C-alpha cells in the first residue's frame, strides 16, 4: 500500500466503521487495517452488558462487532482487487456487499475493560468473500471466533 | 401452563429480556412466550441502522436480537424440565446457561418499521439446548434465520 | 406440477441424487420431491458406522446426506424459477450451483435401521439459495439439522 | 510428548481414524499428530466424486473428513488434559465425546489427487471443545474450512 492507497483505504474503513449508526452505539474505533487484516477496538461500558450478575458482554455485542470488522475486511478485499475503484463495477460491488451468513463461537465469557476484534480475508472471489475473525480482551484472552460469508458480486 | 406457572415464566422472561442492559439499547419487548415458543419485538430507530444509504438494520442488531430471544427460549426450556425451580440444581443450570455458538442467515435486507423475533426449542438435553429462530418485519417478510446451541448443564 | 414438469423434475432429481458416485456409497434413494420439499432415504449398513461401540452413523454420513438433499432442493428451486429450462442461462446457473457453506447440528446419536433426510427451500434469489434440512430415523426421531447456503448465480 | 505418551497418543489416533468403518470408505490415513494439531490424508478415487462433470470431491466427503480429523483432535485434547488416562473419568469423557455442531465453508472446488485435512484445538474446557480445520490438495490449495464444537463432559 503506497500513501495514496493508504488514504483511499482509510476513507473506506471510515465508511464501514465510523459512519454506521449502530457502530457508534458499540463505540467501535478503527485501530489498524491492511489488505490482509482489519482491527477495531471498543471499551466496556454498562449498556453493552448481557449478564449483569457476571458483568460480561452481551453475545449480540460480540456478534455485532465481529460482523462489523468482517464486513470492513471484505470491503477492503474488494477495493484491493479492483483495478479502478472509481468505476461503476466497483461501486456496484460495494453497494451490493452484504453478509450472507455468519457463525460465532463463544469461547469464554466476555470479561474485560477493552476489547479488540480483528478479521482476516480467507478468500475473495467474483461473488463470495469469506472471513475469519476473533475477539480478544486487553489481556489477549480470546473470547469469540467468527466465520462469515459475504456476497460481493 | 397454569396461572402459577404463567407468573413464574413471566418473571423468567423478564430476567432474560427486560433486565439485560444491551436489550434496552435494542428496545426489545417481550411479546409472547410459551414452553414451545418465545417472541420479542422492537421498533426501527436511527441508531439501529447498519447501512445508512439503504436504511436497513445492522447485521449485529439482527444477531443480537436472535441471540436474546433464543437464550430466553433455552431458559424457559430449562424451567419447564425442572422439577423444582427453587432448588440448587436448577439455579446452577440457569447460572451456567451460555451460548456456545450461533449461525445467522441473512435472507433479506432488514427493512421495516417494527420487527419480530421468535425462537423455538428443538432440543433440550442434560448439557445442550438447540434453538432455531427467525426475524420478520411488520409485513411478515422473513429477514433472517438463526440456529444456536446453548450450554445448559 | 403438471405431468410434463413431473418428468422434468424427476430427471433433475436423478442427476442430483442417483448419478453422483458418492451418493451410491451412501445408498441414497430419492423418495419424494416437490417444488417445496425434497426427500431421500438410506438404510443403515456397517460401512456407514462412525462409532462401533454404539453402532451409530458417522457424523460425516449425516453431513453428506444433508448436503446431497439440500443441493437437490436448491437445483429444483432453480428449475422452478427458470422460464425456460433449456436455455443457456439456466444451464449456466445449474452448472455453477455449489455449496457455499453448511451448518449441521447433531441432536441425537444416529441410531436406526432406515434414515430419511428432507430439505426445504427457504429462499432462492438471483445469486444465493438457502435451505434447511433434517434427518430422521424410521421411528421419526430427529437426529440432525442442517442449514446450507448455495451459490446459484 | 515423551516416547510413552507418543505411543499412547498413537493408539488413540488409531481408534479415532483407522478403526472407524466409514473412515475406511474415505480412505483416511493418519499422517501427523501432536497435542496441537492432527492431520489425515486421503487419495482421490472415483467413488468420492460429487460432480462427475467436473471430477471434484463430494461436499459430504469434505464434511466427513473434517469431522473425522476434528473429532480426533478433540480426543487428543482430552487425553492431554487428563491426569490419568486409565481412570474412569477419562473413559467416560471419551465415551461421551460427540460432535455438537459443525460449519463447513467450501472455498474452492475439490480438485486434486491427494488431500490433506488438519485440525487445531482452539479450546478444550470441562464440557466443550472447539476446533478449526482445513482441507488442502497436493498443491497446497485450500479447499474448505471447518469449525466444530464437541461435547467432552
pLDDT of residue D2: 63
End-to-end CA separation in angstroms for chain B: 24
Q: Region B67-76: what's the mean pLDDT?
A: 92
- State the pLDDT confidence band at D52, using cuts at 50, 70 and 90: confident
Which residue is closest to B127 within chain C, CA to CA? C107
- What is the Cα Rg of chain B in Å? 15
Q: Comparing A96-110, D39-53, D77-91, which segment has the lowest mean pLDDT? A: D77-91
Instruction: Give the residue from A104, A97, A91 showing the smallest Cα distance to A145.
Output: A104
Instruction: Give the residue from D66, D59, D152 showing the smallest Cα distance to D108.
Output: D59
Burial bucket for residue A84 (CB in 10 Å: 0-12, 13-18, 19+): exposed
Q: Cα(B135)–Cα(B112) distance, rounded to whole angstroms? A: 11
Report H helices in chain C.
3-17, 21-26, 59-81, 88-96
In order of B142, C33, C37, C130, the CA distances from B145 in angstroms are 8, 24, 18, 10
Between D73 and C83, where is the model more confident?
Answer: D73
> In 3-state terms, chain B is what percent helix, strand and coil (to 5)?
35, 35, 25
State the best of C18, C42, C59 to mutate against chain D, taking most chain D CBs within 10 Å.
C59
Q: Comparing A39-48, B72-81, C40-49, C81-90, which segment has the lowest mean pLDDT? A: C81-90
pLDDT for residue D1 is more than 60:
no
Helix and strand counts by DSSP (H, E) for chain D: 4, 8
Angle at D122 between CA D68 and CA A58, to 5 degrees: 120
pLDDT for residue B151 is more than 90:
yes
Q: CB of C145 within 8 A of CB of C59?
A: no
pLDDT of residue A16: 75
pLDDT for residue C5 is more than 80:
no
pLDDT for residue D8 is more than 90:
no
Which residue is closest to A147 within chain C, CA to CA? C101
In order of C17, C20, C32, C62, the CA distances from C39 in angstroms are 10, 16, 5, 14
pLDDT of residue B4: 66
- From B105, B123, B149, residue closest to C147, measured CB to CB: B105
Instruction: Give the residue from D65, D78, D68, D80 showing the smallest Cα distance to D128.
Output: D78
What does the mean pLDDT of chain D come to? 88
- Note whether B99 contacts A24, CB cutoff 8 Å: no
Q: Which triple of cell numbers denotes residue B116? A: 419480530
- State the pLDDT confidence band at B18, using cuts at 50, 70 and 90: confident
Instruction: Give the residue from A127, A112, A18, A103 showing the smallest Cα distance to A57.
Output: A112
Q: Region B127-146: what's the mean pLDDT?
A: 96
Between B79 and C109, where is the model more confident?
Answer: C109
Percent of chain A's residues with pLDDT above 90: 59
Between A5 and A148, where is the model more confident?
Answer: A148
Min distance D86 CA to chain B CA atoms (Å): 24
pLDDT of residue C1: 55
φ and ψ of B33, to 5 deg: -155, 145
A-contacting chains (≥3 CB pairs under 8 Å): B, C, D
Between B71 and C15, where is the model more confident?
Answer: B71
pLDDT of residue B48: 95
Give the other-Cβ count within 10 Å of B78's Cβ.
22
In order of A55, A59, C48, the CA distances from A41 in angstroms are 19, 16, 47
pLDDT of residue C3: 60
Q: Which triple of cell numbers denotes residue D105? A: 465453508
- State the pLDDT confidence band at B1, using cuts at 50, 70 and 90: low
Q: Region B102-123: what's the mean pLDDT?
A: 96
- Contact residues, chain B to chain C, C-beta under 8 Å: 103, 105, 107-108, 122-123, 130, 132, 142, 145, 147, 149
**Strand D56-57 with C98-106, pairing:** unpaired
Q: Cα(A7)–Cα(A34) distance, rounded to whole angstroms? A: 12
Instruction: Give the residue from A66, A84, A70, A78 showing the smallest Cα distance to A37.
Output: A70
Which residue is closest to B151 within chain A, CA to CA? A106
Between B1 and B22, where is the model more confident?
Answer: B22
pLDDT of residue B8: 73
Q: CB of D95 within 8 A of CB of D137?
A: no
DSSP string, D65-132: HHHHHHHHHHHHHHHHH-S-TTSHHHHHHHHH-EEEEEEEEE-S----SEEEEEEEEEEE-SSEEEEE
Q: Which triple of cell numbers denotes residue A102? A: 455468519
pLDDT of residue C4: 66
pLDDT of residue A11: 72
**Residue keyed to cell 433433475:** C12
Instruction: Give the residue from A95, A77, A90 showing the smallest Cα distance to A149.
Output: A77
B-contacting chains (≥3 CB pairs under 8 Å): A, C, D
* Contacts with A18 from chain B: Cβ below 8 Å: none
- State the pLDDT confidence band at C103, using cuts at 50, 70 and 90: very high
Percent of chain B's residues with pLDDT above 70: 96
* Contacts with D107 from chain A: Cβ below 8 Å: 122-123, 130
pLDDT of residue A1: 55
Q: Which triple of cell numbers denotes residue B90? A: 436448577
Q: Cα(A18)–Cα(A20) distance, rounded to whole angstroms? A: 6
Q: Region A66-79: what's the mean pLDDT?
A: 90
- Considering Cα of A67, then A70, then A76, then A79, what sign does the dihedral take? negative
- State the pLDDT confidence band at B83, using cuts at 50, 70 and 90: confident
pLDDT for residue A21 is more than 80:
yes
Q: Cα(C1)–Cα(C105) distance, rounded to whole angstroms? A: 33
Q: Cα(D84)–Cα(B37) distance, rounded to whole angstroms? A: 44
State the best of A147, A148, A150, A152 to mutate against chain D, taking most chain D CBs within 10 Å.
A147
ipTM of this model?
0.90
- From A19, A48, A103, residue closest to B103, measured CB to CB: A103
Spatial CB neighbours of B26, under 8 Å, sequence gap ≥ 6: A60, B42, B48, B61, B64, B65, B68
- Considering Cα of B59, then B60, then B61, then B65, what sign does the dihedral take? positive
pLDDT of residue A33: 85
- State the pLDDT confidence band at B79, using cuts at 50, 70 and 90: confident
Give the other-Cβ count within 10 Å of B79's Cβ.
19
Q: CB of A107 within 8 A of CB of A143?
A: yes
Spatial CB neighbours of B23, under 8 Å, sequence gap ≥ 6: A58, B17, B68
Burial bucket for residue A8 (CB in 10 Å: 0-12, 13-18, 19+): middle
pTM of the predicted model, to two decimals?
0.91
**Strand C49-51 with C114-124, pairing:** unpaired
Which residue is closest to C130 within chain A, CA to CA? A100
pLDDT for residue B134 is more than 90:
yes
Which residue is closest to B97 within chain A, CA to CA? A51
pLDDT for residue B7 is more than 60:
yes
Q: What is the pLDDT of residues D70-117, one digit of tens each?
A: 999 998 888 887 777 667 777 777 777 899 999 999 999 999 999 999
pLDDT of residue B3: 61
Q: Cα(C145)–Cα(C129) distance, rounded to whole angstroms? A: 17
- Considering Cα of A18, then A19, then A20, then A26, what sign does the dihedral take? positive
Percent of chain C's residues with pLDDT above 90: 59
Instruction: Give the residue from B115, B129, B43, B114 showing the smallest Cα distance to B79.
Output: B129
Percent of chain B's residues with pLDDT above 90: 59
- State the pLDDT confidence band at C117, using cuts at 50, 70 and 90: very high
State the best of C101, C103, C105, C124 to mutate against chain B, taking most chain B CBs within 10 Å.
C105
- From D101, D103, D151, residue closest to B127, measured CB to CB: D151
- From B21, B58, B67, residue closest to A20, measured CB to CB: B58
Amino acid at each position: 500500500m503506497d500513501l495514496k492507497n493508504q488514504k483511499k483505504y482509510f476513507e473506506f474503513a471510515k465508511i464501514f466503521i465510523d459512519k454506521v449508526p449502530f457502530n457508534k452505539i458499540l463505540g467501535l474505533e478503527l485501530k489498524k487495517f491492511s489488505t490482509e487484516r482489519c482491527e477495531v477496538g471498543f471499551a466496556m461500558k454498562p449498556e453493552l452488558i448481557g449478564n449483569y450478575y457476571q458483568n460480561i458482554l452481551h453475545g449480540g455485542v460480540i456478534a455485532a462487532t465481529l460482523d462489523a470488522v468482517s464486513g470492513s475486511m471484505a470491503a477492503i478485499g474488494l477495493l484491493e482487487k479492483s483495478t479502478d475503484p472509481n468505476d461503476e463495477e466497483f461501486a456496484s460491488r460495494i453497494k451490493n456487499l452484504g453478509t450472507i451468513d455468519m457463525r460465532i463461537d463463544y469461547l469464554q465469557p466476555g470479561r474485560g475493560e477493552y476489547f479488540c476484534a480483528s478479521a482476516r480475508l480467507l478468500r475473495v472471489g467474483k461473488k463470495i468473500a469469506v472471513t475469519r475473525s476473533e475477539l480478544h480482551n486487553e489481556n489477549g484472552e480470546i473470547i469469540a471466533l467468527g466465520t462469515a460469508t459475504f456476497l460481493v458480486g
